[in-house]
Amino acid sequence: MGIGKQRKQVQTGEFCFEIARTTGGVIEIWGDDDFELAAGTGYAHMHDRAVQMMMVRAIGQGRVCEQLKDSEESLHIDLAMRSLDFTKAAANDVAYLTSDARRFAEAYSAGVNHFLEMQRLPLEFKLLRWKPEPWRPEDCLLCIHLMSYLGLAQSQQDAEKFIMQAAAGGVPEETLQYIFAPHLHELTPRIIALLKDINIQSPMIPKAVPFLSAASPMAASNNWAVSAKRSASGFPLECHDPHLESNRLPPVWAECVLHTPDNYRLGVNMPGLPGIAMGRTRDLSFGFTYGYMDMVDYFIEECRDGKTKREDDFVPLESRTETIKRRGGADAKATYWSSDRGVLECEALHSANEHPTRPNGLFLSRAFAQQPGGAASSLASLFEVLQVSQVAQAQDVLKNVNISANWVIVDSSGNIGYQQSGILPARSGTGLAPLPAWDSDTAWSGFVPSDHLKRVTNPPEEILFTANEDQNPEDGPLVVNLHHGFDRSNRIKDMLLELEAATVADMQRMQCDLYSKHAEKFLKLWRPLIASDTAAGRLLLDWDLCYNLDSQAPTLFEEIYAVLGREVLGRRGFGEAAWEEVVERTALPALFYSYFDRPLLREGEGFDETAWYGKEGWRQVTSDVIQQVLGSISLSDVPTWGQRQQVLMKNVLLGGKVPRALRFDYGPVSMPGGRGTIVQSVIYQSHGRQTNHFPSYRAVADLATNEIQTCNGGGPSGRAWSRYYTNEIRCWLAGKYKILQGSETNESTKHTSPQADGSLE
């Protein structure tokens, strides 16, 4: 039985709840407490997002070959996930759950399993001959471990791997230290010499693509808050728009409207988890951006016959063998070797009748900050943040989340606050360069207490904002050694400071802003070099620096930017083939573009113009590139930004594999914005597939009201033939919002205003 607009009562064991849909299809649940709401959320997630959440669990467990599809790509995923061993970590974390967090997870699992037992599953399960196993509390914890790693800690890992490959491939030490200043001084000649002898597994750049020494002498999210003093309503405003993969269906986030007898919860979470990860209650509103905390380090291990060097001795490595079941053939065996620093990156796969090869030689070991009980504390925080009403209380709760995040929080008393979260290793170095594991002073000495992470309450400017920029606490530990730069955060700050009486409409306008401070910096330097006697030159000189879909100017700018990058960072820096691979096959230029921009903008301490531009110098090289691009182009051949910035929104399971007429995919769609705009929009290849960053969800809350205004990047349902599968896409792309409203009573009439039905009009 489906979920309709009429309230339906569901009894699952001890939990009883009522469930319905708003007119726009968002799930709405009524219960006596957060445990009944958790059961209802589990039931709703299975109804709307069963394929998505079961896929996430299969990936996290390293069981893709067994449950979904048996292929070499699937085997690669399983091998990678088994090396992380999140399944064991999640099982162990169950013992650390508080009584409330355990009941929270058990109630959610009860709702999931009630649907599994009583209702019909989506067609995809029948096509795959896949019967999902019951959901357990440890599966919720597994989802949290995945949230803390995939796309977050993983991006840091990729950057460090790139640095190692570049150093081993002959890119000069001073070049890398300049690009990644100021935290790469530990990349010494000794480390580089060791890296040359390591067989780097899963490299960012294929081994067949060489790094070249210089031919001449030389990868996201927003949130912000406005205090009551700057707000037209006299209450704080809180806004968040997480930038995640958006060329997918269903969307990452599942929205919900939850009611208890005396409160409400409006917001989103990822299927697989109870509660809300971002959103609001009657008295509190909160959202987060990725914090760029470095939670991954590499160490260099010298191994002999299954032992690894420590000081002047060799100590045994630990090993574990995993069996990967495969649908299409014999089971695969993989043996992973670990030291006290982390998991060795060496060949793990072997046949069932083979003994695993003991490591000999130099290897990298990968350490990921997984504190025992870390996921359990995060689940407890998801529950506890719903029980508090003050910013200070929420800060005390959210600092214990194991995901690297920048939380912005407001309350109905008028307070605004920021809280940093994540598990930060207490490391001896900066974390960017690998260190010899045999040196005792390189080991982690536990983790930094969460009280030492950055916290801000009621700043004098009366605003708070984050956009993946540097958020290192003053006089505190080094939390961030790579970040996204300051283009978006500076634009947010400028716009907020212009507002003396901010409204919800102002916040929505900001969330849809397309002005690029990144392009502003470049055009300031390029203007004297651009000839105005060509149509293309005049178009670029007259550009308003906005990445609008109907504009050709962003396309011209991006072409010059790309050609200049190939010339300077490629031919004169990392090598043409290597740089092309970085641009075409990795997320690094999208995530860390502000570092690669340094020689192009002549920024940063240690810039050497001759090293990067040779005898010609910056002006001549840049002028030649601009003339090369603009002088040979006809405007009739220049696509608009909307024509260039197109993606197909693919179903997470069957995308691109079934006829378009079956409506699993949608589009292609055009996504406005650029790398440095508040509407961050970047399309790139990462780990072998096309992906993108775009505001996956937008939300604005004014605590003077009992509502939240949102748009989600898809639809509430993951069922391809549901009317709610793609019903929000057009409004989401156009920056139109719906209103979701909370009610503090369990009265039979669920909507108290004409717009509270979630309609998209």
Q: Read off the pLDDT of each residue in 226-250 and give the average, rounded to a whole number.
A: 96
Helix, strand or coil, per DSSP, at residue 438:
coil
Q: Mean pLDDT across the stretch 753-759?
A: 31
Q: Under DSSP, is residue 521 helix (H, G, I), strand (E, B) or coil?
A: helix
Q: Please state the rounded mean pLDDT for residues 396-419.
A: 97
544-572 tens-digit pLDDT: 999 999 999 999 999 999 999 999 999 99
* pLDDT over 90 at 211, yes or no: no
- C-alpha dist (Å) from residue 715 to 544, 616, 697: 33, 54, 11
d(CA 221, CA 232): 25
Residue with tokens 């409203």: 741
Residue 745 in this model has a pLDDT that exceeds 60: no
d(CA 282, CA 269): 18
Pairing of strands 278-280, 405-411: unpaired
Per-residue pLDDT at 688: 66
- Bridge pairing between strands 248-249 and 646-651: parallel
Return the ∠ at Cα 715 (arms to 711 and 721), rounded to 5°: 165
Model confidence band, residue 194 (pLDDT cutoffs 50, 70, 90):
very high
Give the lowest-confidence range in 176-185, 364-373, 723-732, 739-748: 739-748
Across the range 87-98, mean pLDDT stands at 97
- Report the pLDDT value the prediction gives residue 501, as an integer from 0 to 100: 97
Give the pLDDT confidence of 455-511 residue by residue, as tens digits: 999 999 999 999 999 999 988 899 999 999 999 999 999 999 999 999 999 999 999
Residues of the chain with pLDDT > 90, as a percent, come to 82
pLDDT at 758 > cutoff 60: no
**Mean pLDDT computed over every residue of the chain:** 92
- Residue 212's pLDDT band, with cuts at 50, 70 and 90, is very low
pLDDT at 217: 26
pLDDT at 744: 59
How high is the pLDDT of residue 210?
A: 43
Average pLDDT over residues 591-618: 95
Q: What is the mean pLDDT of residues 290-304?
A: 95
Q: 53 to each of 133, 139, 271, 652, how far by Cα in Å?
A: 12, 10, 5, 11
Q: Token pair for residue 224?
A: 């912000």
Please provide the size of the chain in residues.
761
Distance CA 30, CA 8 (A): 10
pLDDT band at 213 (very low <50, low <70, confident <90, very high): very low
Rg (alpha carbons) of the chain, rounded to whole number: 26
What would be the CATH architecture of the domain defined by 517-643? Orthogonal Bundle (1.10)
Q: Per-residue pLDDT for 661 more than 90?
A: no
Vertex 454: Cα angle to 449 and 459 (nearest 5): 150
Q: Furthest-apart CA pair in the chain: how many Å? A: 78
List pLDDT tens digits, range 416-450.
999 999 999 999 899 999 999 999 999 999 999 99
Element (H, E) at 562: helix 553-565
pTM of the model: 0.94
Query: What is the mean pLDDT of the segment spanning 262-288?
Result: 97
Q: What is the pLDDT of residues 43-58, one digit of tens each?
A: 999 999 999 999 999 9
> For residue 238, is pLDDT > 60?
yes
Q: Is the pLDDT of residue 192 over 90?
A: yes
Given a cut of 60, whether residue 208 has pLDDT beyond it is: no
pLDDT digits 0-9 by tens, 115-130: 999 988 998 899 889 9
Whether 697 has a pLDDT exceeding 90, the answer reads yes
Residue written as token pair 């849809």: 512
CB-based contacts of 651, cutoff 8 Å, min separation 6: 248, 249, 664, 665, 720
User: If pLDDT is split at 50, 70 and 90, which confidence band does 747 have?
Assistant: very low
DSSP-derived secondary structure for 315-366: EEPEEEEEEE--TTSS-EEEEEEE-SS-EEES--EE-TTSPPPPP-EEEEEE
3-state class of 225 per DSSP? strand
